[in-house]
């Protein structure tokens, strides 16, 4: 009986947690929504993440602001992998994630569709779209990089958590990588991301350059 309870607990169904995804794509039950669609902002580059929400209102905005042509749709979706808080709609904008907005690099499976819902007032949608259009005219860009490797892992010993370093390995020799100064190199992506960010800043407005790359 106890084993049955554990097994039932691990089963994911839309009745345990309902997620919504707003779009203008014409999908059917069983389809998968995957990464690669254009972002709603800036240069409309292919997004690295796909987004879902536990609130219908946020999904409605997603449908209304979607860049593609077509009828606005709200789908019930089931994540196939891990999801995390969408940082652009949590601590940066709405502390505590009240919109319950999440993102993932793994596909979402369409398990249903909300066919009756009330959109936002036309003037409110127009104001939002005008704001996005203004950002585009200003060549508004967002620097975004996902960091998967942080160089450490959390371990526990005698109920005490500590950070254990993870070192970069040369998989041709299977030896730990050593830098020019003889130091062991951590397996992390922060250093490269910071360098990429500085290069990106060089093409942005002077205010941004002064903040992040100007020599003190």
In a domain, 31, yes or no: yes
Q: How far apart are CA 141 and CA 43, in angstroms?
A: 7
80/175 same-domain check: no
Q: What is the pLDDT of residue 215?
A: 64
Q: Is the pLDDT at 66 greater than 70, yes or no? A: yes
Tell me the mean pLDDT in the region 38-43: 42
Which of these three, 89, 106, 137, is where a domain ends? 137
Which of these three, 137, 161, 193, is where a domain ends? 137
31/115 same-domain check: yes
Number of other CB atoms surrounding residue 154 within 10 Å: 9
**For residue 186, what are the domain limits?**
152-212
Q: What is the pLDDT of residue 3?
A: 46
Domain tally for the chain?
Answer: 2
Average pLDDT, the chain: 78
Q: What is the pLDDT of residue 110?
A: 92
**What three-state secondary structure class fits 60?**
helix
6/108 same-domain check: yes
Strand order in the sheet with 84-85: 32-33, 108-114, 73-79, 19-23, 50-53, 101-104, 84-85
């Amino acid at each position: 009986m106890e084993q049955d309870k554990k097994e039932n607990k691990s089963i994911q169904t839309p009745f345990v947690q309902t997620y919504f995804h707003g779009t203008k794509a014409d999908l059917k039950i069983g389809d998968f929504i995957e990464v690669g669609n254009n972002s709603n902002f800036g240069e409309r580059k292919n997004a690295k993440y796909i987004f879902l929400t536990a609130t219908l209102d946020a999904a409605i905005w997603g449908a209304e602001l979607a860049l593609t042509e077509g009828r606005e749709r709200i789908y019930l979706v089931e994540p196939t992998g891990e999801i995390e808080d969408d940082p652009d709609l949590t601590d940066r904008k709405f502390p505590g994630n009240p919109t319950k907005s999440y993102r993932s690099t793994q596909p979402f499976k369409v398990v249903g569709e909300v066919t009756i819902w009330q959109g936002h007032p036309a003037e409110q949608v127009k104001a939002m779209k005008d704001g996005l259009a203004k950002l585009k005219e200003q060549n508004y860009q967002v620097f975004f990089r996902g960091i998967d490797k942080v160089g450490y892992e959390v371990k526990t010993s005698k109920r005490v958590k500590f950070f254990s370093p993870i070192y970069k390995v040369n998989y041709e020799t299977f030896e730990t990588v050593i830098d020019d100064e003889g130091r062991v190199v951590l397996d992390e992506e922060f250093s490269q991301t910071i360098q990429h960010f500085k290069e990106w800043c060089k093409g942005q407005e002077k205010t941004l350059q002064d903040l992040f790359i100007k020599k003190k």
